[in-house]
Structure 1
């Protein structure tokens, strides 16, 4: 039996909207159409009130969330409107909390938010209500956001398809019949369908990059340690996952990252240097002479569905008239060895997280089989195996740094497949090749993660006949988050009309 194959039937089934109607794209600008930075300016100039903004977003969520299922455990509208009025009163007294003052935000259902359940899409955690915010959430609230609910995630954040037995599946913003990606699938769909102006997410194995690519928005995995994660039960070894920003514009992406970033004494490996980013007055200037190494499918190592590589290569070609130099590049190290390193690290980190849940009554009946497979794989892992994997990871980090002596940016697809049917758990084959684990189809995302490098998923193209989006990963050297945002802003400037495309709205009747 292939690794990661479910060994029992799952009770999960996709929930289908009862009745839906398709609405055309709006022809007039409304509050929900603005990016977060513009909305912030309108609020601070008192052209619109925080209450008006909240009313517009609550109406939008009520209209489309029953179909897309992106926001879960929402707060009561009356309480949110009262918070919005309070924010308006603060502005009338000349006090602003920050650029997110009065802006609605839903937090991914992985990070702790005081007063909201943190379920991680797991039935065993349905009543888990933390008493305090995690580091990132506290910073977002301090900057003025109003938390309206949580965004949906796969059970325990495992897998790049957002579904769970507690809330059901989140549907792709461009086609509700297919997956939204994950694990930040709810966040990406909220952005694309204008249920949120900006969103947070987290990334372990492409969880910011895959759903961003599949929903035609931007998602950024920062340099490891840029955004302090937690604090959790371990602050020394658990260094693969990171929180980060998602947005419809690069400016919003950079501003949100600046809010999330910065050292926290409770997370000792968080980066000490302060982070700030301002967009260039001439964003395409960074593209002149920019050296981009196209890694593609790593010389055939990665299985790819038809059209994925073509979409990404076409996206890169759009940068050449602005002066970018795009050439094929080789990873230069054995990807099979890196995959084994990845499996060891993943088991070592995921297994202990699951251990407290496994001890609960009926845990094995309520936890999805993919998670149980991760747990069982961790139990026989020796310290020697883990240390060897850590040494492989260390060598890979140094190797990647050497690649950036030749290339400014490395590029790969953000996923190896197009969005698949929402009722499937994961792709069993890609390009005619069997997938031996439930996450092998996302192998393309492990390289930035293992090396702790910053990576942005930018919208690349669409499926030739189905209209599904695909993303392109741009990866930079360790610590070069601001430079990578500059590159993404140059890309945005070149592809403005393409990036402005938005999905039709499918709304509950």
Structure 2
């Protein structure tokens, strides 16, 4: 029998293969990860809810099945607590929903279950996903496993920490302005924010909204490719998913990479610029690296407007009726959209279209676009918002996310990879961006630099 330590160190792909061959049982894999959670989560606060008994029942079903149920047969996963799980508490990080137990799974969860995955628990998130630090009135802060005084990032910080510390091999996240990418950068894991619609959201009220997507975090690129193959089919009730076209053409043996530290407009810290320059030097061993960026003039103001309008539309009623129970961050986010006019919104959409076309033009002469996955390195949990970078004040609390939300604005898929680092350096990640539908190309390149250039996860030094 494999030891607990080695079981929890295995990737989802390796675990699925071992369980399918009978080398491991699903029950022993689940028990090993539950024990890891028991040992580490009191310190790290990655989980809102641990589904121990439900996971054990699911493992028993997997072990009794005459053949593997699916590609993730018996593999434990974590689900971000913004996403509905049938029969399992889903709080959205809010005291308003502390007793909420959905009757149905979100489609992404249903597809994971059908593939044989076992829901080990719900991972922590700021209230409704709004917050730079992964904390709320129910749980947190989720602590960075590389330095427990520091933030894990918002808003998929619980999932990032659960993966980085070996509490699950694979975890679900959501990403509006950088919510899988920032935690991945801070916690030294890989993540995928796929093309909007690739993982459908058929119950989303605004069907053509492409700012928010489901995503995943893992320790190995193969796991991201595996889980996207399970969750990535279209759904007729999601109009975005109907239009997603897969492009499986390989990139050149020595790809052309455009690199930008800031898209020409994003505030980025000096230490991040230095780390990014070093990462670009490392990439030059496998690619032709050329400084270049699309024209992103007006992107920050555009995202602010669109985001504020969406949030006010979704949560305005809560502000009117339950204001006293909301966190200050959520209140600020809702109020930011209150004064926008229809003309403001449409002008933002007009500018977004121009930025999208500039991205498209860049990809006529580059295979990938690479940028930092965070504008700052992890900061102390006691500081709730990034209000300045290198002493320069930011206009709003979300501007530190510009280096990620610019990509959300245009809907291109993004693979986040840990950059090589020194022994005493904090984790830092890069975004690798490709045209819509080109996730397979991202995975192929990510796998190459992971295996050949050291863009790979390192284990934190935890007890």
TM normalised by structure 2 equals 0.95
Partner of 1:455: 414
Q: Distance in 2 between matches of 1:206 and 1:333?
A: 17
The one of 203, 206, 220 equivalent to 1:249 is 220
The one of 130, 145, 152 equivalent to 2:117 is 145
* Superimposed CA distance per residue, residues 83-139 of structure 1 (whole angstroms, 9 cap, x where no aligned partner): 21221011xx2x321121111112101111111222111111112221101111111
1:155–1:164 CA contact under 8 A, matched in 2: yes
1:292–1:411 CA contact under 8 A, matched in 2: yes
Q: Distance in 1 between matches of 2:389 and 2:253?
A: 36
Cα separation, partners in 2 of 1:277 and 1:104, compared to 1, 3 Å: farther
Partner of 1:501: 458
Q: Distance in 2 between matches of 1:345 and 1:320?
A: 36
1:365 is aligned to 2:340: no
2:87–2:102 CA contact under 8 A, matched in 1: yes
1:197–1:247 CA contact under 8 A, matched in 2: yes
Bigger shift: 103-112 or 265-274? 265-274
The one of 307, 310, 313 equivalent to 2:277 is 313
Residue 256 of structure 1 aligns to a residue in which SS? helix
Residue 499 of structure 1 aligns to a residue in which SS? coil
The one of 28, 35, 49 equivalent to 1:59 is 35
* Superimposed CA distance per residue, residues 23-61 of structure 1 (whole angstroms, 9 cap, x where no aligned partner): xxxx99611111011101110110111111111011000
Partner of 1:264: 235
Residue 215 of structure 2 aligns to a residue in which SS? strand
Cα separation, partners in 2 of 1:383 and 1:28, compared to 1, 3 Å: closer
Bigger shift: 59-68 or 102-111? 102-111
Partner of 1:436: 395
Bigger shift: 375-384 or 393-402? 375-384
1:82 is aligned to 2:39: no
Structure scoring higher RCO (CA < 8 A, sep ≥ 6) equals 1
Q: Structure 1 residue 274: deviation in Å? A: 7.5
1:119–1:125 CA contact under 8 A, matched in 2: yes
1:262–1:272 CA contact under 8 A, matched in 2: no
Runs of 4+ in structure 1 off by over 6 angstroms are: none
1:255–1:277 CA contact under 8 A, matched in 2: no
Q: Distance in 1 between matches of 2:129 and 2:301?
A: 21
* Superimposed CA distance per residue, residues 412-457 of structure 1 (whole angstroms, 9 cap, x where no aligned partner): 1111111000111012211121122111111101221111101111
Residue 177 of structure 1 aligns to a residue in which SS? strand
Unmatched 5+ stretches in structure 1? 1-26, 281-285
Unmatched 5+ stretches in structure 2? none
Cα separation, partners in 2 of 1:252 and 1:374, compared to 1, 3 Å: same
Residue 198 of structure 2 aligns to a residue in which SS? coil
Q: Distance in 1 between matches of 2:352 and 2:245?
A: 26
Q: Distance in 1 between matches of 2:229 and 2:18?
A: 21
How many aligned residue pairs are there? 462
Residue 269 of structure 1 aligns to a residue in which SS? helix
Q: Distance in 1 between matches of 2:423 and 2:234?
A: 46
Q: Distance in 2 between matches of 1:179 and 1:432?
A: 20
Q: Distance in 1 between matches of 2:245 and 2:253?
A: 28
TM normalised by structure 1 equals 0.86
Matches within 5 A, 1:193-342: 193-236=165-208, 238-272=209-243, 288-299=253-264, 301-322=265-286, 324-334=287-297, 337-342=298-303
